[in-house]
Amino acid sequence: MSHHYNIPHSALHTPHSGELGALLEGYREEIVAAWVRLLAGLPGSRFATLPVTELQGCLRDQLIAMAAVFRRDNYGDLETYLTNNCAMRVAQGFDISEVIQGNLLLKDAVLPIIWREVQWEADTALRL
């Protein structure tokens, strides 16, 4: 059974969307490295069993897709990418909760960069 969720435009677009997209693009490799470390550190994670280069490539592709959402305000491609990525991981034997948790760890990989870049503007950091 396939689910399709329509993400409201207002949920993704803010006056800071372009700035967030630029941060994701500009710090891509740092974010990917942090995200890999977070995934590998999950207790009993199947992510830790993947070759690092495969995990890095997958996460890099996902980050590129997400940055495009914020830079071009086009989230249809991201929804398709994430749906396909989740389905692929489940087919590889991942539990869907682990896949979702892995996607949510992106926030933990990005937050230090946001705080570092806009440390004097707490309101901007919170919106990003």
| Token output for 96 | 């869907």
Q: What is the DSSP letter of 48?
A: G
Question: What span, in angstroms and rounded, lies between the C-alpha atoms of 53 and 6?
Answer: 32
Please give the pLDDT value at position 33.
95
The CA distance from 65 to 45, in Å, is 24
Q: For residue range 61-89, what is the model confidence (pLDDT) as tens digits?
A: 888 888 887 777 666 767 777 888 889 88
Give residue 124's pLDDT. 66
Model confidence at 53, pLDDT cuts 50, 70, 90, reads very high
pLDDT at site 10? 44
* More confident of the two residues 6 and 70: 70
Half-sphere exposure of 73 (CA within 13 A, CB side): 10
Question: CB neighbours of 98 closer than 8 A, spacing ≥ 6?
Answer: 42, 45, 46, 47, 89
Handedness of CA 6, 108, 81, 19 (dihedral sign): positive
The answer to whether the Cα torsion of 15, 112, 59, 33 is positive or negative is positive
Q: Residue 91 corresponds to which amino acid?
A: A
- Higher-pLDDT residue of 16 and 61 is 61
Predicted local confidence at residue 21, as pLDDT: 82
